[in-house]
A and B are shown apart, each in its own frame.
Chain A
Amino acid sequence: MADNVTPRVRVPREASAGDVVSIRTLISHPMESGQRRDGDGNVIPRSIINRFTCDFNGENVIDVTMEPSISTNPYFQFSAVVNETGTFNFTWYDDDGSVYEETADITVA
Chain B
Amino acid sequence: VGAAAAITLLPGMASAALVDDAINAFTGGAEAGSDGITLIAPEIAENGNTVPIEVDAPGAEAIIVLAAGNPNPGVATFNFGPASGAQAASTRIRLAGEQDVIAIARMPDGTFRRAQQEVKVTIGGCGG
Q: CB–CB under 8 A between A and B in the complex?
A: yes
Residues of A within 8 A of B (CB): 20-21, 33, 35, 55-57, 59-72, 74-81
User: Is the CB of B79 closer than 8 A to any CB of chain A?
Assistant: yes
Query: B76 touches which one: A55, A61, A67 (CB < 8 A)?
Result: A67
Q: Which of B79, B81, B85 has the most CB of A within 10 A?
A: B85
Contact: A71 with B92, CB < 8 Å?
yes
Contact call B81/A20, Cβ cutoff below 8 A: no
Chain B residues with Cβ below 8 Å from A64 are 76-79, 89, 91
Interface stretch, picked from B31-39, B65-73, B109-117, is B65-73
B83 contacts which of A60, A68, A77 (Cβ < 8 Å)?
A: A60
In contact, A75 and B85 (Cβ under 8 angstroms): no
B122 at interface (Cβ–Cβ under 8 A)?
no
A sample of 27 cross-chain residue pairs with beta-carbon separation below 8 angstroms, ordered by A number, consists of: A21-B85, A55-B81, A60-B79, A61-B85, A62-B81, A62-B89, A63-B79, A64-B76, A64-B77, A64-B78, A64-B79, A64-B89, A69-B67, A69-B70, A69-B76, A69-B95, A70-B91, A70-B92, A71-B91, A71-B94, A75-B90, A75-B92, A76-B89, A77-B89, A78-B85, A80-B84, A80-B85
B residues in contact with A35, CB < 8 Å = 11, 71
Q: How far is the CA of A56 from the CA of B65 in the complex (A)?
A: 25
Closest 3 CB pairs of A and B: A60-B81, A79-B85, A20-B85
Partner of B94, one of A59, A63, A65, A69: A69
Q: Is B82 an interface residue (CB 8 A)?
A: yes
CA distance A23 to B76 in the complex (A): 18
Main secondary structure, interface of A, reads strand
Kindly list 4 other residue pairs between chains A and B, CB separation below 8 angstroms, not including A69-B72, A72-B50: A61-B83, A67-B72, A70-B76, A78-B84
Choice from B78, B79, B93 contacting A69 with Cβ under 8 Å? B93
Q: Which residue of A lies closest to B52 (CB)?
A: A75
Q: Are B86 and A69 in contact (CB under 8 A)?
A: no
Contacts of B67 in A (CB 8 A): 69
| B15: Cβ under 8 A from any A Cβ | no
Query: Which chain B residues lie closer than 8 Å to A21 at the CB level?
Result: 85
- For the complex, is B49 an interface residue (Cβ under 8 Å from A)? yes
Q: Which residues of B have CB within 8 Å of A65?
A: 76-77, 79
